[in-house]
Amino acid sequence: MKNTLKGLGTALCVALPLLVQTPAGAATAAANAGADQALVQRGAYLAQLGDCAACHTAPKGKPFAGGLPMSTPMGRIYVTNITPDAQTGIGGYTEAEFARALREGVAKDGHNLYPAMPYPSYAKVNDDDVKALYAFFMHGVAPVQQENREADIKWPLNMRWPLMFWNMAFLDKGAYRDKPGKDAAWNRGAYLVQGLGHCGSCHTPRGVAFQESALDESGSAFLSGALLDGWFASNLTGEHNAGLGRWTDEDLRTFLKTGANRHASAFGSMTSVINNSTQAMSDQDVAAISTYLKSLPPAGGNAAPPYAYDPQATKVSLDRPANDAGARVYTAYCMHCHGVDGRGFAPMLAPLAGNPNVLAKDASSLINVTLNGTGDLVINGVPSPFPMPGFAAVLDDRQIADVLSFVRAGWNNGAPAVGAAEVAKLRQSTQAGR
The CA distance from 122 to 129, in Å, is 11
The CA distance from 424 to 333, in Å, is 20
263 assigned to a ligand binding site? no
Q: Are 263 and 242 within 8 A, CB to CB?
A: no
How many helices (H) and strands (E) in the chain? 19, 6
The CA distance from 39 to 21, in Å, is 21
Distances (CA, A) of 311 to 305, 347, 363: 17, 20, 21
CA-nearest of 395, 368, 423 to 4 is 368
The CA distance from 221 to 242, in Å, is 14
CA-nearest of 328, 308, 332 to 317 is 328
Name the 3-class secondary structure at 167: helix
Partners of residue 364 on adjacent β-strands = none
The CA distance from 197 to 280, in Å, is 13
Q: How far is CA 206 from the centre of its chain?
A: 15
Name the 3-class secondary structure at 18: strand
The CA distance from 395 to 111, in Å, is 47
240 assigned to a ligand binding site? no
13 assigned to a ligand binding site? no
Alpha-carbon Rg for the chain in angstroms: 22
**Which residues are documented as binding site?**
52, 55-56, 199, 202-203, 334, 337-338
From the annotation, which residues make up the binding site for heme c?
52, 55-56, 199, 202-203, 334, 337-338
